[in-house]
Amino acid sequence: MRRKNPYPGVTRVKDRHGKIRWRFRKKGCTECYIKGAYGSKEFEASYEAAMNDKPYVLPKSRAKPGTFDWLIEQYMKTKTFKDIGPVYKRYLSLEMERFRKDHGQRSVTGIKKRHVEALMDAKRKTPAAANKLKKLIGRLCRYAINDLGYAMTDPTQGVKPLATNDEGYHTWTDAEISQFMNHHGDGSLPAVVLNLILYTGAARQDVNRMGWHSIYNNRIFYNRGKTGELVDLPLHANLEKFLINIPSHQKTFITQTKSADESYTTESFGNWFGEKCKEAGVRGRAHGLRKAGATKLAEAGGSEYEVMTFLGHKTPQEARKYVKAANRKKMADNAMARLK
């Protein structure tokens, strides 16, 4: 049965770089590409603008020249920023908006190394957030130096990152996966989410956008928001049985229970799934499931490049650790077998 297009006039196309884009063609309207991730608020705003045959423009602001307000405004107009993947671009935009709210009136040339260290020290309880703040300030200041010729020095140079947990998010075990499934049941939405992440390796922002539009010829595809890489995987039989009963009219697989057409934001989806984990008595989170899928693939003999493709990374560097851990496990098993 042909599924109804929730956005009449919009079709999926692949550009010369292999990236999936959404083209709008409708009689009486100007042909264009719809901006943003499929089904997102930006996508719907762009679609509405296209339907009304009006250009979609970002609202203007009144930023004082020389401030971080002004610098962020200038940076968001650059090709570098516009070429970032839609989901990562949204996260970066939110980071910059939070920084503007607290420090937007600061002078770009007035911020020094000691100021960066003080800002990071205020976030010492969350070292990953502190390091992310340092990275953002460095990104903006290097743009001011290299592109605008406005600043002379990068205040983040020589600032040491705070120590973080190298292991990152907890990787789900088979026992935790079984416990979660037993608690919520095969027919539940949490079970759908778990299997979507486990068998696609998708991050929460990408899973949250998936729907029937993501499946074609028994394959599931999406553009990873953070890297822009096209992920194209065969639809696993274990995943297919969890999707089969989802109505064809839903825009996305994951919707809020009060309305079949109302999707979660990435943040609210993450919070919702976190609550479902607590209810099931497991300590895992969405990203830990993504790691579990990569671990299973590596332990099944997947190469660095296969794991890289599964996770939607641009390089095998991140995938290498999963393969290395799987190889060590195999060698340990072989060693113990010899002792027997």
Task: State pLDDT tens for residues 200-218.
Answer: 989 888 888 899 999 989 9
CB 276 within 8 A of CB 260: no
Average pLDDT over residues 224-252: 87
**DSSP strands (E only) in the chain:** 10-14, 20-24, 32-33, 215-216, 219-223, 230-234
Give the span between the Cα atoms of 232 and 216, in whole angstroms: 10
Range of weakest confidence among 122-126, 137-141, 276-280: 122-126
Q: d(Cα 179, Cα 206) in Å, to the nearest integer?
A: 25
241 vs 83: which has the higher pLDDT:
241
Distance CA 141, CA 74 (A): 12
What is the structure's pLDDT at 53? 65
CA distance 79 to 59: 18
One-letter amino acid for residue 78 of the chain? T
pLDDT 10s digits, 160-208: 988 765 556 788 889 999 999 999 998 899 999 999 999 998 988 888 8
Which CATH code, of 1.20.1440.120, 3.30.420.40, 3.40.50.800, 1.10.443.10, is assigned to 174-339?
A: 1.10.443.10
Condensed to tens digits (0 to 9), the pLDDT of residues 35-52 reads 888 888 888 888 888 887
H-state helical runs in 168-208? 174-184, 189-200, 204-207
Name residue 273's amino acid.
F
Residue-range domain boundaries for the chain: 10-51, 68-146, 174-339
